[in-house]
């Protein structure tokens, strides 16, 4: 299998001012690319190199798991955003959010609370499990791929995702992400 970091689905300045080009230069070029470089070095010449990324995540541990999961999580994060995104969802995801959270406002409240409360580095996820949506958080490289839940959207709440633009205001970043960036088209495509 050939492992390469996927290109961003937009230019590095396309999310500004919500996320600056400077943040993406560090986050995508340094962090995401760094995880891929470490993963490739760790699996080169081993039977693991013949597996796809999701299989590696589900069958590995330690450094291989951490780097593989971070490659997946970051790729999913880039796709969970789009220029001109945000606002209220439409389509099937809107119906599912209203059904499972009671309203979009209740979803937003829970999303901000859970993602803001993730202790230390990690991720906020909208997942679907047995047809029902819920919000979960994972620490470090944790990912729903190691559970029965299907990822629908994610937000990166590691400091490198927001510190240049928001300093220590994680909650501010999360609110702007919902208002200006979230890609509901991607969420609709991921619903099972």
Residue 8: inside a domain, yes or no? no
Residue 40: inside a domain, yes or no? yes
Task: Determine the average pLDDT of the residues in 51-58.
Answer: 97
Clarify whether residues 68 and 96 are in a common domain.
Answer: no
Q: Which two tokens stand for residue 107?
A: 């979803």
Clarify whether residues 74 and 104 are in a common domain.
Answer: no
Clarify whether residues 113 and 171 are in a common domain.
Answer: yes
Task: Determine the average pLDDT of the residues in 10-33.
Answer: 98
- How far is C-alpha 80 from the geometric centre of its chain's CA atoms? 6
Cβ-proximal residues to 73 (8 Å cutoff; 6+ apart), any chain: 123, 141, 143, 154, 156
Domain residue limits at 115 = 92-190
CATH code of the domain containing 51: 1.10.287.990
Clarify whether residues 134 and 64 are in a common domain.
Answer: no
pLDDT score of 152: 98
Residue 68: inside a domain, yes or no? yes
Task: Determine the average pLDDT of the residues in 63-81.
Answer: 98
Strands (DSSP E) contained in the chain are 122-129, 132-139, 150-156
Residue 184 CA: distances (Å) to CA of 45, 84, 157: 39, 11, 19
Out of 12, 44, 79, a domain closes at: 79
Task: Determine the average pLDDT of the residues in 91-98.
Answer: 98
Out of 30, 56, 79, a domain closes at: 79
Task: Determine the average pLDDT of the residues in 63-92.
Answer: 98
pLDDT score of 1: 62
Residue 2: inside a domain, yes or no? no
Task: Determine the average pLDDT of the residues in 65-71.
Answer: 98
Predicted confidence band of residue 25 (pLDDT cuts 50, 70, 90): very high
Clarify whether residues 63 and 96 are in a common domain.
Answer: no
CATH code of the domain containing 167: 3.55.40.20
Clarify whether residues 96 and 176 are in a common domain.
Answer: yes
Clarify whether residues 96 and 56 are in a common domain.
Answer: no
Average pLDDT score, the chain: 97
pLDDT score of 192: 80
Clarify whether residues 56 and 100 are in a common domain.
Answer: no
Clarify whether residues 114 and 184 are in a common domain.
Answer: yes
Give me the sheet containing 150-156, strands edge to edge: 132-139, 122-129, 150-156
Residue 10: inside a domain, yes or no? no
Residue 6 to residue 121: CA distance in whole angstroms:
23
Out of 31, 49, 79, a domain closes at: 79
What is the domain count for the chain?
2
Clarify whether residues 112 and 69 are in a common domain.
Answer: no
Clarify whether residues 57 and 135 are in a common domain.
Answer: no
pTM beyond 0.85, yes or no: yes
Residue 6: inside a domain, yes or no? no
- pLDDT tens-digit profile of 114-160? 999 999 999 999 999 999 999 999 999 999 999 999 999 999 999 99
Q: Which two tokens stand for residue 166?
A: 């928001």
Clarify whether residues 31 and 113 are in a common domain.
Answer: no
């Amino acid at each position: 299998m050939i492992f390469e970091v996927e290109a961003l689905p937009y230019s590095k300045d396309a999310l500004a001012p919500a996320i600056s080009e400077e943040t993406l230069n560090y986050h995508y070029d340094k962090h995401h690319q760094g995880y891929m470089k470490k993963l490739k070095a760790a699996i080169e010449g081993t039977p693991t190199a013949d597996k796809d990324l999701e299989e590696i995540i589900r069958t590995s541990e330690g450094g291989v798991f951490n780097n593989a999961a971070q490659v997946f999580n970051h790729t999913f994060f880039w796709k969970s955003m789009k220029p001109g995104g945000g606002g209220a969802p439409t389509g099937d995801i809107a119906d599912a959010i209203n059904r499972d959270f009671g309203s979009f406002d209740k979803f937003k409240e829970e999303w901000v609370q859970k993602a803001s409360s993730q202790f230390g580095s990690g991720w906020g996820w909208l997942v679907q499990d047995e047809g029902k949506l819920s919000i979960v958080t994972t620490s470090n490289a944790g990912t729903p791929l190691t559970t029965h839940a299907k990822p629908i959207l994610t937000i990166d709440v590691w400091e490198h995702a927001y510190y240049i633009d928001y300093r220590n205001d994680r909650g501010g970043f999360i609110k702007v992400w919902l208002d200006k960036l979230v890609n509901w088209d991607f969420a609709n495509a991921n619903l099972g």
